[in-house]
Amino acid sequence: MKKAYVFSIALSVSANCFADTDLSFLAPNAVIPNACVYNNTGVYSDEFEMIPIWEDTIYTCERGYFLPKLSEVCAHCPENSYCPGGKYTYSETADTGLNACPDGLVAPDGMWELAQCGRKFHVGDGFLYLRTSKQTAHALHFDTDGDGVADFFANLSTTDVTISKDSTRRMKVRMNDTVYFVHDDTVTTPTGTE
């Protein structure tokens, strides 16, 4: 449901007002006969109207998902955006939890943080997505503007993985006596292998 009725009534009533009245049928704007309610004028009345209080229904989306406008179901985050996930309410006018990457940056689908927006790095006939901040303990650094400071990063793992989920290519780098596999955030690696 997009919204829900919540009835919260705190009224003073006489001892016998609701003794013989079945209130299980209460609905929005219901008129209850044969009941008496103490109204604001200081007298008891034999009927009253129920006024609903609207509360938004909360939808929880996992990271990498957002709540599209006019929808009650979370959707996978599209390319060139990130979706942190969280608790959202139904909207008729806007997607909630969907954030575009800054101009000039790209990201694969399913991303959840701004740092996952970056650049594509081509490796043969494949590519991987570079991040704007370091994610793994060891990372491949890219200085794209020649100022000596890394602008983008690729993840490194000791697990044998492809460069991205959609590629069969592997890229290895050696640091001291350890061989690392270069990959982007679309590749899942076992904990502790970075």
Dump pLDDT digits (tens) for 140-157. Answer: 999 989 999 999 999 999
Could you identify the residue written with the tokens 């590519």?
A: 127
What distance in Å separates the CA atoms of residue 137 and residue 63, rounded to the nearest whole number? Answer: 22
* Residue 40 and residue 86 share a domain: no
What is the pLDDT, as a whole number, of residue 54? 62
What distance in Å separates the CA atoms of residue 81 and residue 172, rounded to the nearest whole number? Answer: 28
Instruction: List, in sequence order, every residue forming a beta bridge with 106; answer none if it has no partner.
Output: 118
Output the pTM of the full model.
0.68
* Residue 62 and residue 43 share a domain: no
* Residue 67 and residue 51 share a domain: no
What distance in Å separates the CA atoms of residue 68 and residue 59, rounded to the nearest whole number? Answer: 11
Residue 10 domain boundaries? 1-56
Residue 141 covered by a domain: yes
